[in-house]
Structures are given as structure tokens and as C-alpha cells.
Amino acid sequence: MSAPKVSIRQLGICYAGAPAVRDVDLDIPKNAITAVIGPAGSGKTSILRTINLLSVDVDRAEVKGQIRVDDRDILAGGVDRVDLRRRVGMVFATPQPLPGSVYDNLVYGPRLAGTRRRADLDALVESSLRAAELWDEVKDRLRRSAFLLSGGQQQRLCIARTLALGPEVVLLDEPCSGLDPISTFKIEEMMRSLRDRFTWVLVTNNTKQAARVSQRTAFVLLGQMIEQGPTGQLFTAPKDPRTGDYVEGRFG
């Protein structure tokens, strides 16, 4: 494996003194999909939200350890949040459009980043919607409220919105929870087709989804990293018995 895009060492996360994640190591390779699986409350979201420092800035989490993105440790302090979050985009567990039109949602980030020209924004909107396989469905209602889209469409809009930032890493927190199988399928297809353009981190509590789309999988339990490795190996020949129990659904 070449040098990982993101490498996490000894990561600890506490909320108001209560530890939620302890000593987690995780390597996330470039241009591949890394799945993070584990039961509810095991700390998946916490880890994800720490990779773009949302946990620190919004949830007031205390963190220790290292998270190197391209060899720069973002936990070391003095990181430009805005720059980091443009490079490390995030999609949330339920569709989260902002109030406003489909178009407004898509250009929110780029406008803040300084793209002003109408033509540039239009082009960006089209290319990111195409990438998220949503262009054909919404090209006629770009000016309508984003809340009028279906749940699945909203979630793909949120993915397109993240892609419009031109990120290097895309963090997805259970992006398909609450979506129907067709929407789920579309999102998985999209991830597959864009796999080589980004570094993907997919948190999911659907082990089958992890098996379907990811190249690497990491299993966390009660805030600790139990096992990580190539997806095929982790599912067929887990080193830790707890991993086997979990992926086969023999777990509380």
C-alpha cells in the first residue's frame, strides 16, 4: 500500500471528560473506499467528525493523538479550519439541505471559496450534479426549494454539494440510513464510479453495504479499533472473533 491519504494514530476523543474513543489507529488509502463499521454508539461518527474537526469546534470534544492528512497533523493546532473542510468534505447521516433552492445549496461552498462568476458556478453545479447522478432528475428545478426533492434525491444533492467543494477526501456518515433500496443503490453506484477521484470514508451500520462497495474495512467496538484490513479478508477470515460475530450478525 502506498502512503495513506489520512492516517490516524492513537486517537482519543472525550466529551465533557467522558471518553468515547480510545487509542484508535486507522489508515485510509487514497482513491479507495474505506468502510468503518461497528454497532451503535461505538464511536464511528465521533471519529469521522474529528477528521474535519467538527467534533472539536461544534461538540467541544477533547481530542488527543494524531490525524495526519497528507502528512500534516491536523490535531497539532494552528490548522486553517476552512481550508481543511474544503479538502475534507462531509455528508451527514440524514439528508441535510440548507433552506433555499437546489442551486443555492450547491453554490454555497464555492461562493464562500470565492467563485463569483455566474458561468463558473453554473458549470460547477452541472458537473457536481452529474457526478452525483442527479443532473437529469433536477436540471429543471434548480431554482425550486431543495426541501421539495425526495429523501434520496436530497441525499444525492448533499453529496453533490460536497463534491462541488472540490474535496480530496469525502466523509460519509451512514449516507443511506433511512433511504430506500433504489436510492441506496444509486449512491453506491456513484461511489463506485467516482472511486478513483477521491478518498472515501464510509461509516455504515450496514455490513453488507461495506462488503459491497469498500476496499478496506475497519471494525470499531466500544470506542476501540478491533480490526482493520482489506474488506474481503475482514469478512471471510477475521482475526478477531468479535469481528466475525459482528459481520455475521451474532451480536447484541
Partner 1 sequence: MNARAQRWLAPRRAQALARFVLWSLMAVAIGILILILAFVLGRGLRHVTWTFLTAMPLDSGRAGGVLPIVVGTLEVTALGVAAATPLGVGTAIYLVEYTREGRLTRIIRFGAECLAGVPSIIFGLFGFVLFVLTLGLGWSILAAGLTLAFMTLPTLIRTSEEALRAVPARYLDVSLSLGATKWQSIRKVLLPAAFPGILTGLILGIGRAIGETAAVIFTAGSSLPHRIPRSLSEGTRTLSVHFYQLAREGISADNAYATAAVLVLAISLINLGAYVTLNRFMRRYR
Partner 2 sequence: MRLPDKVVERALLLLALSSVAVLASIAFFIVREGAPLIYRVGLSNFFSTDWHPTAGRFGILFMLVGSLAVTVGALALGVPLGISCAIVLGEMAPPRARRILKPAIEILAGIPSVVYGFMGIVVVLPWIREHLGGPGASGLAAAVILGIMILPTIIAISLDALEAVPMSYRDGSLAMGATEWQTVRRVVLPAARSGIVAAVILGTGRAVGETMAVVMVAGNAVQLPHSPLDPLRTLTANLALEMGYATGDHRAALFATGIVLFLIVLSLNGAAGLARRRRRPRPRPRRTASVAGVPASERIPPSPVSDP
Ligand X SMILES: Nc1ncnc2c1ncn2[C@@H]1O[C@H](COP(=O)(O)OP(=O)(O)OP(=O)(O)O)[C@@H](O)[C@H]1O
Instruction: State the number of CA atoms in the 13 A half-sphere of 2 facing the CB.
Output: 6
Task: Please give the residues from 129 up to 168 whose contact with partner 1 meets the rule CB under 8 A.
Answer: 161-162, 165
53-75: b (≥16 Cβ within 10 Å) or e: bbbbeeeebebebebbbeeeebb
Q: Is 117 helix (H, G, I), strand (E, B) or coil?
A: coil
Cα separation, 115 vs 216, whole angstroms: 35
Q: How far is the CB of 183 from ligand X (least distance, A)?
A: 19
d(CA 82, CA 109): 10
| Residue 44 binding result from ligand X, partner 2, partner 1, none, given CB thresholds of 5 to 8 Å by partner type | ligand X
82 binds, among ligand X, partner 2, Mg ion, none (CB under 5 to 8 A by kind): partner 2
* One residue of 42, 45, 153, 162 binding Mg ion per CB under 5 A: 45
* List 3, 19, 41, 60, residue binding partner 1 (CB under 8 A): 60
By beta-carbon proximity to ligand X, the closer residue of 1 and 18 is: 18
Cβ 233 to partner 2, closest distance in Å? 34
Of residues 165 and 220, the one with the C-beta less far from partner 1? 165
Residue 98 engages partner 1 in binding (rule: CB under 8 A): yes
205 lines the binding site for ligand X (CB under 6 A): yes
Amino acid (1-letter code) at residue 34: T
CA distance 188 to 209: 8
Residues that bind partner 2 (CB under 8 A): 15-16, 58-60, 82
Q: Within 13 Å of residue 241, how many CA atoms lie on the same side as its CB? A: 0
Residue 82 Cβ vs partner 2, minimum distance, rounded to whole Å: 7
Provide, rounded to whole angstroms, the least separation between the CB of residue 62 and ligand X: 11
H runs (alpha helix) in 20-117? 44-51, 54-57, 81-87, 102-112
Strand residues in the chain grouped as ranges (E)? 6-15, 18-28, 33-37, 61-69, 72-73, 88-91, 169-173, 199-203, 216-221, 224-230
Nearest approach in angstroms of CB 74 to ligand X is 18
Nearest to partner 2 of 55, 217 (CB atom): 55
Footprint on this chain of ligand X (rule: CB under 6 A): 15, 20, 38, 40-46, 59, 205
Footprint on this chain of partner 1 (rule: CB under 8 A): 52, 54, 57-58, 60, 81-83, 85-86, 89-90, 92, 96, 98-99, 108-109, 112-113, 161-162, 165
